[in-house]
Amino acid sequence: MEVKIEKIEDINIFSLAGNLDSNTSGDLEKKLIPAIDANNTKFILDFSQLHYISSAGLRVLLSAAKKLNQFKGKLILCSVRKDIKEVFEIAGLMPIFPIYDNPEEAARKILQ
């Protein structure tokens, strides 16, 4: 999996490519958690190039969201393919992770 990080004003955009599973979730965790610890509070995860997520990936996202929640931060997702959305639905995570169609819409929402 590849993680590309961009910062536009105070929004951190993480673009994930490949598979987010037990083999790769540690790579995301190593980048996401320190970014939260550095007092960033707005995160958009762009899933347009993400092909697969397992519970190991969900675990990293949940722990990041919990940490951010303590600082009134926001973590939202965009460009999520159908089969990944199904995983979020079954796991009861739709109320926790807002999902938007594209990065522009996600950026507008995170600034509201």
Partner 1 sequence: MSSSTGTKIELQILNKIPEIERVCNSITTFSRQHSIDEKIISNLYLAVDELLTNIIRYGYRDEKDHTIDIRCFIEKELLTLQIEDDSYPFDPNEAPQPDLTSNLANRKIGGLGIYLVKSMMDDVKYITKNGKNILTLTKRYTIS
Binding site for partner 1 (CB under 8 A): 19, 21-23, 52, 54-56, 58-59, 62-63, 65-66, 69, 83, 86-87, 90-92, 96
Residue among 3 and 87 whose Cβ is closer to partner 1: 87
Distance in Å, CB of 70 to partner 1, minimum: 8
What gap in Å lies between CA 23 and CA 20, rounded to an integer? 8
Name the minimum Å distance from CB 6 to partner 1: 25
In the complex with partner 1, the residue whose CB is nearer, 19 or 40, is: 19
Q: Contact 40/17 with Cβ under 8 angstroms?
A: no
User: Are 1 and 32 in contact, with CB atoms under 8 Å apart?
Assistant: no
**Complex with partner 1: residue 41 or 63, whichever CB lies closer:** 63
Instruction: Write the DSSP string, 20-62.
Output: ESTTTHHHHHHHHHHHHHTT--EEEEEEEEEEEE-HHHHHHHH
In the complex, minimum distance from the CB of residue 66 to partner 1, in angstroms, rounded to a whole number: 6
Of 35 and 51, the one with the shorter C-beta distance to partner 1 is 51
Crossing angle (nearest 10°) for helices 55-70 and 25-37:
0
